[in-house]
Structure 1
């Protein structure tokens, strides 16, 4: 119980949330480019600079930052929950012992499941707001009119039902592998660099291992991320009559994956990967750097730095 409500877990959670919000703000236009490439299938621009130039030309200079506030709110909550759960579970499981990659993976998956179930409604709303007012090249996309986060919640519940707030939950649950793989590689590389000696890593070391961990995790799970974005946007009509929601979700994911391969080939599953890798790798690297520095400064002020590094 002490691990669940520990001050140390709170420091990790706040550090992770602040780091991720700052990093996402810096690289937000790259995420806008990635989302358009995933959702707007008829857009001809293929590269990140080309699509950003197209968006600015068609929709104005601030268009790449459309939907920034709901994304930041969702990201702040999501990372707070994830970092808090990850470090609580790790402290409870290890009880001061050295961690291992398999342990980090299992703990990462468990923290990811909690995070998905709690924060998916926020991500559904932020996807809708981020794409609202965009000039789509796909004529089948229906325009939406939300005045803000609360209005989006109200309209979605009223028009589509409460369950629509959890659109894309199943691929999101599969995607808990993304942060789990990322944390497993990150923690493993961190242990390798320290080689058993508790020390604070340099800024460059943290940035590089954060980038490597995220690049591998993103590439492995990217096709599911595309399906997740399409489902969250709410424009896909699921005509399945399956009584089982699990079977229906599996069929929907399979159908979307197959349709995308038929239309664009295997590479269609990775449409927007360049923008995603550029954004997510830089964002994750900066986020881990800020997270480590904020956490270490806080622990140093508390006089806990030595114990803190030994436990990690």
Structure 2
């Protein structure tokens, strides 16, 4: 009898994993992320430039925006927009589906969610997401920097000429194929170690967000919060996770960019120490102002849209 019960539980868990509800969450999360990143994309451009470009003169977000517009025109702020949207939609679809699928499979309809459970499930979802989508983000970084006027001549001279410096890409697939042919397939997973560690970023974000959401739903005795509350909770959660994990994001961007061959041969800790030694401790937080503006506003808007789309679809279907 015990075996039969266990089999029923496993079967029920698998059914919960492949449910319509998880698909709704995944589509809602992907849609919210695409709309949000499109609105705040120039800030993401500035963040990437400041993280990768060691000799960019701008010291803050506003100066960097003006500098890019002056050197490259307004279109420079939107370089690589389509690859970012493509990668982000795939990434968030996988992440939201995995997170809600695991939650449904393990908890079912029981209300046993807690900050520790949220943190664990979000981290596992992040690792799954990283392993599947890292090649898309490597191509995304290359495409976003293609055509950008980077002030990295001294840095490249020290490390040797970049094999990718004269390479031109026509799209994501072309970029992936050329990276494989010229640098090897392993390069598609450049920055994977910091990316896996950075799975703690959305894990912390989801833990804080879900904890705050449960708290305020209970405080106000409502099943759903207002759009403004979702926006604020998303902003607070992303701020906490970004500040904690930002140095790893800097290393991740530099490894994905592929401009410094020397750094790609170092371990994560060696990369952190190398960056501090050559660029100073402040380099670990270079571009964080732009990152906070971009990622906090994007995450806040994304969570608002995600919650509203999911609630609307579930309402139409007569589901909670």
TM-score (norm 1): 0.92
The within-5 A match list for 1:19-58 is: 19-58=32-71
Matched, 1:136 2:159: no
- Larger deviation, residues 85-94 vs 139-148: 139-148
Which residue of 184, 193, 217 maps to 1:161?
184
Find the aligned partners of 1:29 and 1:160 in 2 and give their Cα distance: 29
Find the aligned partners of 2:47 and 2:278 in 1 and give their Cα distance: 19
Which residue of 257, 260, 276 maps to 2:291?
276
Contact 2:16–2:108 (8 Å) recurs in 1: no
Contact 2:263–2:271 (8 Å) recurs in 1: no
Matched, 1:149 2:172: yes
Change (3 A) 1:39 1:166: same
2:9 match: none
Shift in Å at residue 147 of structure 1?
1.4
Map Cα deviations across residues 222-269 of structure 1 (whole Å, 9 max, x no partner). Answer: 0000000011111232489xxxxxxx7xx4222221122123432221
The within-5 A match list for 1:212-227 is: 212-227=236-251
Contact 1:133–1:143 (8 Å) recurs in 2: no
Matched, 1:259 2:274: yes
2:304 match: 289
The within-5 A match list for 1:82-161 is: 82-98=95-111, 99-139=113-153, 140=156, 142-161=165-184
- Larger deviation, residues 218-227 vs 188-197: 188-197
Shift in Å at residue 28 of structure 1?
0.2
The within-5 A match list for 1:162-177 is: 162-177=185-200
Aligned residues: 296
1:232 match: 256
Find the aligned partners of 2:296 and 2:41 in 1 and give their Cα distance: 12
2:87 match: 74
Find the aligned partners of 1:102 and 1:134 in 2 and give their Cα distance: 42
Find the aligned partners of 1:180 and 1:261 in 2 and give their Cα distance: 27
Larger Rg: 2
Gaps of 5+ in 2: 1-13, 157-161
Matched, 1:188 2:183: no
Map Cα deviations across residues 187-219 of structure 1 (whole Å, 9 max, x no partner). Answer: 000010012745110011100000000000011
After superposition, the CA RMSD in angstroms is: 1.4
2:4 match: none
1:59 match: 72
Contact 1:238–1:252 (8 Å) recurs in 2: no
Q: Post-superposition, which runs of at least 4 consecutive aligned residues in structure 1 deviate over 6 A?
A: none
Change (3 A) 1:136 1:232: same
TM-score (norm 2): 0.90
Map Cα deviations across residues 120-141 of structure 1 (whole Å, 9 max, x no partner). Answer: 0000000000000111111126
Which residue of 209, 212, 228 maps to 1:204?
228
